[in-house]
Each structure stands twice: as C-alpha cells, then as structure tokens.
Chain A
Amino acid sequence: MMLQMTLRRIWVGVATMFVVSVIVFIMTSILPGDVAQIVLGQSATPETLAALRAELGLDMPAYLRYLEWLGDMLTGDLGTSKAGGAAISDLIGGRFGNTMVLAGLVAGISIPISILLGLWAAMHPGSWLDRTVTFGTLATISVPEFFVATLMVLILAVNLQWLPSTALLRDEMTFFELLGGLAMPIITLVIVVSAQMIRMTRAGILNVMNSPYIEMAILKGIPRGRIILRHALFNAIGPIVNVIALNLAYLVSGVVIVETIFSYPGLAKLMIDGVQTRDLPLVQACAMIFCGAYVILILIADIGSIVSNPRLRHPK
C-alpha cells in the first residue's frame, strides 16, 4: 500500500515536471515571437529570414521543436549559450556544485536550529521567549531576503567588522576556511529559511498538543517537557519532515537573491546574468534545473508525510 502510494506520488511528480517543461518552453520559445526576426531586426529580408529560420529549426512546427528540445535536455545536451557560444553544460558544471555546497551547509545548520527553537517555543507557549520567537519569525518572513542580507552586512561586516561583506571562494579551501568565507551568505539564508521552519514546527507541535490523548497525559500529571518529547514529538514528526523539505525548496528563491547580493559564483547568479542579457537557452536550462530541484524536494516532503503517517498509508 505504502509502495503503491509512493509510486503514484512519484508519477505525479514526473507529470508535474512535464507540464513545467511545457510552460518553460512556451514562455521562452513561442511567446517572445519570431526569434529570427528579433536577431536580424531591421536588416531582415525574406531570404535571410527564411535561411536563419531553417538554421535555427524554426520552420518546424512548435510541438516538434518542443520534443527535440525535451530530448536534448533529457540526454544532457543543454544547448549553447547565445552570448559567446559556449556549451551551457560547461557553464553550469562548476556553478552547480557551488550552489549545492551553499545549500547543503545552510540545510545542515538551519534544520537542527529550527527544530530546537520550534520545540522550545512550543514547550512554553505564551512566555516571553515564545512571543519573541513568534514575532521575530513573523517579521523575518514578512521582509524580503535582501533586507535581511543588507542588515547582516551593516551589522556584521561594516559596524563590527567580523566578516567579509562578500563571499570568498577559492579552490582548495579547508572546511573551516569555507565556512568563514561563506559566512555572510550562510547566515542570511539560515535566518530566512529557519524563520519559516520554526513557525511550522511550533504550529505542528501545538496542533498535536490539542489532541485528547495529550490532555489525558496532562491529567495524569506527566511533566510538560516529557509530554512533548515522548508523546507529542513523534506524532509531529510527519508534519516536521514535510516542513523541512518544503523549506529547503524555499531555498531556491532565497539562493537567487543571496548569490546576487554577495556575488557568489553559483547557478542562480548565472541565471540572473542570463536574464539580464536575455540569453534564453541559458535561462531555459537553469530554470529547468531549479524547477526540477523544487519539484523533487516537494516530492520528498509528500513521501515523508506518507511514510510517517499510517492514516495516509491506509486511506479508508
């Protein structure tokens, strides 16, 4: 039953990816109009237009072009960049690794912090600590990522001068050099991502705390800390796993801003540069990678909640 549901969920994920690829293709290849016309501009004659269209494959019907593009994407041929004509897979290669390093470090730091703070706030609802955490996290999710980044630069780099204001990344760095060099982007992203996770962990636990069996435990006189750790936490694990995956997906948009503000040589920075120069093949490739990562993380979130909640495994 569980395997079946998981397989069905994976199938939905694949279908979503397919629809996403159609959307990306329509937006970047069909809606902007005739690319040959745009490239040639004023100097276009009917003959040169026809020649360029044939060269770019624009004389084929749209669905054939889409299938060809999709086939290329799936076999790893991401096309060539319009600017400079370099192969996009070469451009992306190292950048992708850099972004993964950043995302991995942020995930490794923010997940334990958020669960601990969320638990702590849920253990003492209404206390000053809970109120501080609730207001602080609400404030953080209400402001743009670049606000947090600007504030961090102002406090940590300019006033206290503890950290460099941009990301430093060299080959052959030790782990701690890496942590120091990437401190600013990591701190910013951890704050942005944790705020959401803390709120949802707290809400998840408090939700479980409202159920009758917890009331029973309270009436038996079990201390609150023990109730949360022994009784509530295990039932809240499903929602929490869900929250973690959802918020790692949220990293996708955070990373776009943070890589730009700290000029970090990652995939998002590459994509922004591509958007600025309107390098459509590059944008297509980056968008598919980001959207793919996003869809996979959401998939993991859903599978996590299927696995951890027996009631979802055996629907009535």
Chain B
Amino acid sequence: MNEPEKQNVEAGQEVLDKLDKFDELPDAPPKRKLKLSWTGKIATMIVVFWMVIAIIGPFIAPFHEMDMDGDDSFLNAHSNEYGTFYLGTDYLGRDTFSRVIWGARMTIGISLAATFLAYVIGITLGIAAAVKGGWVDMAVSRVNDAILALPSIMLGLIAIAAFGSSIPILVIIAGIIYASSVFRIARALGLDIMVQDFVEAAKVRGEGLWWIIKSEVLPNAAMPLATDFGLRLVFVVLFISSLSFLGLGVQPPQADWGSMVRENLAGLTYNSWAAVWPAFAIASFTIAINLIVDDISAKSGGSLAKKMV
C-alpha cells in the first residue's frame, strides 16, 4: 500500500467514524427515545401484566370461570377440598380470583377488538375523506358529526334495543361508535399531510394516489394515531364494561369485569368484596393506560393531554 492510498483509506475511515457518531453531531435530528417517569413505568408494568393475564389467564386460573366449588356464596378467603379461594366466592359460590383472571380475557379482548375495528373504519374513511375531498368528505363528515353529537352510551342502548346483545354485536357497535372520533383525527392529520411539500413533490413525480397514501400519508400519521390508541382503548373499556354492568353487554355465566360488579353488588351489604375486585381490575387497567398516555403527551408538547380534558 503506497502513501497516497493509505491516506485515502484513513480519510475514508474518518468519514465512517463520523457517520457512526452521526447521532452526536450538533445538528442531528432529536432521538425518538421514550423516557417514562416512574409512574409511567409502573403503569406500563400494570398494563403488560393484564395483557399477559388476558392471554394465559385460563391456563393459570385455579378454577374454571363456571365452577361452583365454594362452600357458600359471598364467603371471604377460605379453602376446601377443591382448592383455595384467595379472594373468596361470588354470589353463586364461584371463585372470585379465578373469575377476575378469566374476565381479563373477555373485557380486554372485546375492547381491543372493538378499538382495532374503530381504527380500521376510522382511518380508512378519514384518509379517504382527506384525500378525495369534495362530496365524499362532506357526506362522511356530516354523518360523523351526528354520531359525535350523541353520548356514546345512548347510541349503545339504542343499538342493543334494536339488535339484542351478543359479543360480535358489542364489538361492532363499539367499533362503529368510536370510529367517529378516530375518523376526525385521521381526517385532520390527512388534510395536514396532503398539503406538505413532500406530497406535492410525489404528485409532481407522477406517483399514484395509492402510493402517496401508503408511503407518505400513513407513515406520517402513524405516530399520533398510535398515541391516541391508548385513549380510545380506555373509552372502549369503560363503554363495554358500563353496558355489561347494566346487564346489556356480556351475558352470564361468562366472566367479564363489568358484569361481575353487577352480579355481586348485593354482596356489598354482607361485607363481601366480590364486587370490588373486578371494579379494581378495571380501574387499575384504565388508570394505568391513562398515566402512560399522559406521560407520553407531556413529553411531546401536551397536545394529547388537552384532548383528554
């Protein structure tokens, strides 16, 4: 290797070194690293815990959700020949602990399914309205305004009176009702992005509409929509469990946190906590999600926190 060649290699190495330290350059783009406060970390642990329980719950629960093995109804913690009832029994002598674990799958599963449905409907229509504009935008937006103008629980009650209640119907009703708020956000984001220079450039390059949506609009709308997912999920959990609590959601004997509170309300006067545990389960899940969302939005300018209030 002669001298000039060696210099070239060294210069090249220097450039490579600099590239490695690209993130540390003074004008490097800010890193998208999420740092949670300690409340945020605890909240994340709680949410992950419930997600895991929702998946593996039925395999680790000591009893089946319908086993009536307790000595009597509304007992406190005790054990008999079938096993130990850590949180006592409910109004039919079933193990409250196992039913809370089974209920996680039902409550979280339905809510997640409904929220995903809301996102699919909301983003599709929202982006379509933003991209197409004109009468498509007008028509969808007006219907959407009417749905948003009503309390969700009222819409839920009317729909259940009309169609009866089953799990698929619950998912569809909640999906459609909450799609309206996703639509509003997706449309606003879409409108914002469609007038950006890079979309203009893509149009001039002659890219098709679908390519622009897929490669420019969706990636840029993804982050704000993902943060909003948490908030939407909380609303859906509250909506579904309120309906179940009214006896119009998940039907017995299946375990669901909302309906478990309703079934065991009478036990409160006998000092039984069978109604309180599932209520705590809902509260811990929803408060934890809200704390995470609060933490994230506090770091990103607080626009989401404002949307929440």
Instruction: Tell me the A residues contacting B by CB distance below 8 Å.
Output: 16, 19-20, 23-24, 27-28, 31-32, 138-139, 141-147, 150-151, 153-154, 157-158, 165, 196, 199-200, 203, 249-250, 252-253, 256-257, 260-261, 271-272, 274-276, 278-280, 283, 287, 290-291, 294-295, 298
B201 at the interface (CB under 8 A from A): no
Report the separation of the CA atoms of residues A31 and B149 in the bound assembly, to the nearest whole angstrom. 21
Q: Is the CB of A138 within 8 A of B290?
A: yes
Report the separation of the CA atoms of residues A287 and B150 in the bound assembly, to the nearest whole angstrom. 10
Q: Is the CB of A154 within 8 A of B286?
A: no
B residues near A154, Cβ cutoff 8 Å: 268, 276
Q: Is the CB of A200 within 8 A of B287?
A: no
B residues near A278, Cβ cutoff 8 Å: 161, 164
Report the separation of the CA atoms of residues A24 and B282 in the bound assembly, to the nearest whole angstrom. 31
Contact of A146 among B143, B154, B158, B279 (CB under 8 A): B279
Q: Is the CB of B158 within 8 A of A27?
A: yes
Closest residue of B by beta carbon distance from A275: B161
B residues near A287, Cβ cutoff 8 Å: 154, 157-158
> Could you show 9 A-B contacts with beta carbons less than 8 Å apart?
A138-B290, A147-B283, A150-B276, A250-B151, A256-B153, A260-B245, A275-B161, A276-B248, A294-B151
A-B pairs with the 10 shortest C-beta distances? A19-B146, A253-B153, A283-B161, A143-B283, A275-B161, A142-B290, A142-B287, A142-B286, A199-B309, A147-B279
Closest residue of A by beta carbon distance from B283: A143
Contact of A28 among B147, B158, B265 (CB under 8 A): B158
B residues near A276, Cβ cutoff 8 Å: 247-248
Report the separation of the CA atoms of residues A142 and B290 in the bound assembly, to the nearest whole angstrom. 7
Q: Counting chain B CB atoms within 10 Å of each CB, which of A147, A257, A276 scores highest?
A: A147
B80 at the interface (CB under 8 A from A): no
Question: Residue-by-residue, is B142-166 near A (CB-CB < 8 Å gives 1, otherwise 0)?
Answer: 1101110111111001111111100
B90 at the interface (CB under 8 A from A): no
Q: Is the CB of B261 within 8 A of A138?
A: no
B246 at the interface (CB under 8 A from A): yes
B61 at the interface (CB under 8 A from A): no
A residues near B246, Cβ cutoff 8 Å: 256-257, 260, 272, 275
Stretch at the interface among B2-10, B21-29, B211-219, B234-242: B234-242
Q: Is the CB of B153 within 8 A of A143?
A: no
Report the separation of the CA atoms of residues A31 and B261 in the bound assembly, to the nearest whole angstrom. 32
Q: Is the CB of B282 within 8 A of A144?
A: yes
A204 to chain B, nearest CB (A): 9
B residues near A260, Cβ cutoff 8 Å: 245-246
Q: Is the CB of A272 within 8 A of B157?
A: yes
B residues near A147, Cβ cutoff 8 Å: 261, 279, 282-283
Residues of B245-302 whose CB lies within 8 A of A: 245-248, 258, 261-262, 265, 268-269, 271, 275-276, 279, 282-283, 286-287, 289-291, 294
Q: Is the CB of B261 within 8 A of A271?
A: no
Q: Contacts A28-B161, A290-B151, A291-B154 known; A23 to B242 CB distance under 8 Å?
A: no
Q: Is the CB of B309 within 8 A of A275?
A: no
B238 to chain A, nearest CB (A): 5
Contact of B283 among A142, A200, A249 (CB under 8 A): A142
Report the separation of the CA atoms of residues A274 and B143 in the bound assembly, to the nearest whole angstrom. 27
A residues near B248, Cβ cutoff 8 Å: 272, 275-276
Q: Is the CB of B268 within 8 A of A158?
A: yes
Please give 13 more A-B residue pairs, beta carbons under 8 A apart, in addition to A19-B149, A147-B282, A157-B268: A16-B145, A19-B142, A28-B158, A32-B163, A151-B276, A151-B279, A154-B276, A252-B153, A261-B265, A272-B246, A274-B161, A280-B161, A294-B150
Q: Is the CB of A143 within 8 A of B287?
A: yes
Q: Is the CB of B161 within 8 A of A146?
A: no
Q: Contacts A139-B287, A203-B306, A257-B245 known; A275 to B160 CB distance under 8 Å?
A: yes
Q: Is the CB of B149 within 8 A of A20?
A: yes
Q: Is the CB of A146 within 8 A of B245?
A: yes
Closest residue of A by beta carbon distance from B286: A142
B residues near A27, Cβ cutoff 8 Å: 158-159, 162
B303 to chain A, nearest CB (A): 12
Q: Is the CB of B158 within 8 A of A24?
A: yes
A residues near B149, Cβ cutoff 8 Å: 16, 19-20, 294-295, 298
B residues near A196, Cβ cutoff 8 Å: 309
Contact of B157 among A138, A151, A153, A283 (CB under 8 A): A283
Q: Counting chain B CB atoms within 10 Å of each CB, which of A144, A256, A261, A279 scores highest?
A: A144
Contact of A20 among B150, B258, B283 (CB under 8 A): B150
Report the separation of the CA atoms of residues A158 and B265 in the bound assembly, to the nearest whole angstrom. 12
Q: Is the CB of A150 within 8 A of B161?
A: no
A180 to chain B, nearest CB (A): 19
Closest residue of B by beta carbon distance from A294: B151
Q: Is the CB of A291 within 8 A of B150?
A: yes
Q: Counting chain A CB atoms within 10 Å of each CB, which of B145, B147, B150, B247 scores highest?
A: B150
Contact of B309 among A145, A200, A272 (CB under 8 A): A200
A residues near B271, Cβ cutoff 8 Å: 158
Q: Is the CB of B282 within 8 A of A143?
A: yes
Report the separation of the CA atoms of residues A251 and B82 in the bound assembly, to the nearest whole angstrom. 46
Q: Is the CB of B157 within 8 A of A142?
A: no
